[in-house]
Structure 1
C-alpha cells in the first residue's frame, strides 16, 4: 500500500459512522441501485442513518431533470421519504441553458442538436431553446447519453464529426463515462463528450459531479454546514470521490459499484486492501472510507 491510499479506512459497513455526520450526500446508480433494482442493504442502511438523525440528500449524474429522477426511483422501488432532496446534473444543465447567466451559455444559439435516447427529449422542452435541429443546422449540441443501450462510442463518431465540422459547442448533461445496468456495462454521455473534446477539440460544458458548482448548490441547500459533518457516498472515483475532494468534504467509496469487477468485490464481500490501494493510487484519489456496499 502506497501514497495517500494508506489514509483510506476500510469498513465492513456504515454503522461505525452513525452520529459522526449530520448530512449524507448519496449517489444513486451503482450505490443505491443498479438501474434495475435497489442494491442489497442500501435502503435499510439509509433508513437507519435517518433514524439516527442524519439528513440525506441524493446527488446524481442523471442526464435528465429531477422530475425524471423521481419517476425512475419510483419504478425501481426506492421510497421518496428516504431523502429530503434530490439534485442531478440534468437539472443543472437544463437551468444553465434556460438562464444563460454565465458567458459560456450566454453565447449559445437557440437551436439545439440532440444526442441521446428519445426518453431524454424532455430536456429540449426549455424556454432557452427554440427547437431541435439536425447537426448541420443546430447552434449547439445537447448530449445526454447513447441512443440505444448496446451502442458503443464508435456509433457516435459520425455525429461528432458532423458537430466538429461546424465547431458546435456541446452541453454534456452526465459526466459519467460508463455505468453498469444490472451486470451490463454501458457508455454514458461523458464518454461521447470526452471523445468530442479530446479527439476533435470540441468545446464542452460539463454539468454535474465532479465539478464544483453542483456541490456548492447542495451545500447551500444544506445551510452551508460544517464540512467536517458532511459525507459523500458513491462508487465513482472520478466523479463522487473526486468531487467530494474538490468540495472539501469526506467521502466513502462504495467499491462494489463501477469498480466492483476490477476489485473482485460484491456488496457484503471482503474488500482487499492491496487491490484497493493500487486502484486509488492509480486514479489519485484518497477517500476517507471504503466499503463493499451501502450496507449497515
Structure 2
C-alpha cells in the first residue's frame, strides 16, 4: 500500500486487500485495493464510526472491482468464469476442484445465451447489480434475475455432484484397503465377526465403477488402496486417511487430497451399487455408482 492509505486502521486495509484478491487477478489486486483506499480518503464525508467506515469502504471496493472487470471486457480481456467463481467461494478451491468446476461450467454454458447468463453471474459476484446489467443489455430486470438464479441453482447442483464424485474415489480406496487386509486372515474373520464384520462385503468394491446419471461417463477404478477416477478425460488419484464402520451399516470415510486436506463422506455399499454422501455446507451432495465389472 502507498503512504496515502496509512490513516486507515491496518485491519481495514487488510480486509480491503483480501476482498479485492478474491475477485481480481493477483497481478492487479494491489493496484485496485490502493485505488479503493485512496478514493475513500479523498471522499468529502468519511464516516467516523468504525462499523460505518467499513461499510463505506466496502461499497467503494465493490464499485472499483466492477469497474475493473468492465474495463477488462472493453479491452477484450477474457474473464475466466472458473477462476472468478472459485475466488468467490468461502475458501480457496484445490486444483482438482477448480478443474472440476471448469468442466461443470463447460457443461452448463453450451449456447451463446448460457454463456451470456454465466457472464452476468460472474459480474454479480464481482459486485455489479443485476438491475444495472439488465439496463445495459436492454432486458427487463426480472428476466435477468430469473436467468441468473436458474443458472446458479444448476451450477450448485452440478458442483456438489462433482465434489461427491471426488469423495467416491476416497470411499472406494477405503473399501479396497479394508478388503485387502481382511483377505490376509479370512479364518479369523469367520471365527470372530467382530474383528471386521463388513470385510467380506467391502471386498465387492474392487473393480470398475461408474457414476450413475452422469452423461460424461465418470469412471472409478479400485485397485487396492489406489483408486483412479476419470472425469471428462482428467484422471485423479486419492488415498484414505481413515475409514470406520457405522452402526447403520454405512461407513465414515476421511479422504485426503494431494494437498493434504481431509474431507469426510458417508458410504453405503449394496451389491453392485454404492452411494456416497457428503455433508460439507453448501457443497453437500450425493453420488450413486454402479459396478461396470
User: Could you say which structure has the larger radius of gyration?
Assistant: 2
Q: Which has the higher contact order (CA 8 A, sep 6+)?
A: 1
Larger helix proportion of the pair: 2
Normalising by structure 1, we get a TM-score of 0.21
Normalising by structure 2, we get a TM-score of 0.21
